[in-house]
């Protein structure tokens, strides 16, 4: 029996990652471009790169999924950024396509960040 996902905590983390612009794995110029696009998208929700960063920090990428796989599913949404409800649907769709349990992905995203990840 799987645990119940704390959606309030997940939405809080969603909003923290939505407002995160800097990615330590990128150059200053790449981060400057990333910040520009994230600021534009911020009124709509969270972008794929912010979701990927969250998944990377909680070790979902590369242990369970790849950025290529998340990108394919996100592209099917045909939008630049997703709100929280769309984000939950994205996780559901991603889990169906990869034959994973959506609650496992959500619970993993609620775990504390790994030591080698950047600070929020």
Q: pTM for this structure?
A: 0.72
Give 40-51 pLDDT, tens digit per residue: 666 678 889 889
pLDDT-derived band at 119, boundaries 50, 70, 90:
very low
Is 101 within 8 Å of 91 (Cβ atoms)? Answer: no
Task: Give the per-residue pLDDT at 10.
Answer: 84
Task: Give the per-residue pLDDT at 89.
Answer: 95
Distance CA 118, CA 102 (A): 25
């Amino acid at each position: 029996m799987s645990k119940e996902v704390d959606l309030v905590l997940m939405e809080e983390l969603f909003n923290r990652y939505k407002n995160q612009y800097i990615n330590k794995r990128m150059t200053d110029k790449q981060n400057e471009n990333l910040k520009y696009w994230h600021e534009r998208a911020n009124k709509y929700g969270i972008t794929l790169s912010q979701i990927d960063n969250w998944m990377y920090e909680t070790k979902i990428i590369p242990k369970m999924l790849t950025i290529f796989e998340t990108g394919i599913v996100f592209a099917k949404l045909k939008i630049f950024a997703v709100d929280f409800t769309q984000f939950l649907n994205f996780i559901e769709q991603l889990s169906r396509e990869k034959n994973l349990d959506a609650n496992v992905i959500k619970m993993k995203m609620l775990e504390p960040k790994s030591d080698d990840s950047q600070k929020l």
